[in-house]
Chain A
Amino acid sequence: ETGVTQSPTHLIKTRGQQVTLRCSSQSGHNTVSWYQQALGQGPQFIFQYYREEENGRGNFPPRFSGLQFPNYSSELNVNALELDDSALYLCASSPTSGGAGDTQYFGPGTRLTVL
Chain B
Amino acid sequence: AQRVTQPEKLLSVFKGAPVELKCNYSYSGSPELFWYVQYSRQRLQLLLRHISRESIKGFTADLNKGETSFHLKKPFAQEEDSAMYYCALKSRAAGNKLTFGGGTRVLVKP
Question: How large, as a class, is the contact surface on chain A?
Answer: 20 to 34
Q: Per-residue CB proximity of A76-108 to B under 8 Å, as 1/0?
A: 000000000000001010000110111111111
Residue pair B43, A42 in contact (C-beta under 8 Å)? no
The answer to whether B26 has its CB under 8 Å from any CB of chain A is no
The answer to whether B46 has its CB under 8 Å from any CB of chain A is yes
Kindly state the separation between the CA atoms of A85 and B57 in the bound complex, as whole angstroms: 36
Kindly state the separation between the CA atoms of A33 and B95 in the bound complex, as whole angstroms: 10
Chain B residues 61 to 110 lying within 8 A of chain A, measured CB to CB, are: 86, 88, 90, 92, 94-103
Kindly state the separation between the CA atoms of A47 and B97 in the bound complex, as whole angstroms: 8
Contact residue among A47, A55, A100, A106 (Cβ-Cβ distance under 8 Å from B44) = A106
The answer to whether B45 has its CB under 8 Å from any CB of chain A is yes
Residue pair A55, B49 in contact (C-beta under 8 Å)? no
Residue pair B102, A41 in contact (C-beta under 8 Å)? yes
Kindly state the separation between the CA atoms of A4 and B100 in the bound complex, as whole angstroms: 20
Least Cβ–Cβ distance between A111 and chain B, in angstroms: 13
Residue pair B103, A57 in contact (C-beta under 8 Å)? no
Kindly state the separation between the CA atoms of A108 and B38 in the bound complex, as whole angstroms: 10
Residue pair A106, B43 in contact (C-beta under 8 Å)? yes
21 pairs, CB–CB < 8 Å, chain A vs chain B: A33-B98, A40-B102, A42-B4, A42-B102, A43-B44, A44-B100, A45-B94, A45-B98, A55-B96, A56-B96, A57-B95, A90-B44, A98-B90, A98-B95, A100-B32, A100-B51, A101-B49, A101-B51, A101-B52, A104-B98, A106-B45
The answer to whether A28 has its CB under 8 Å from any CB of chain B is no
Residue pair A55, B95 in contact (C-beta under 8 Å)? yes
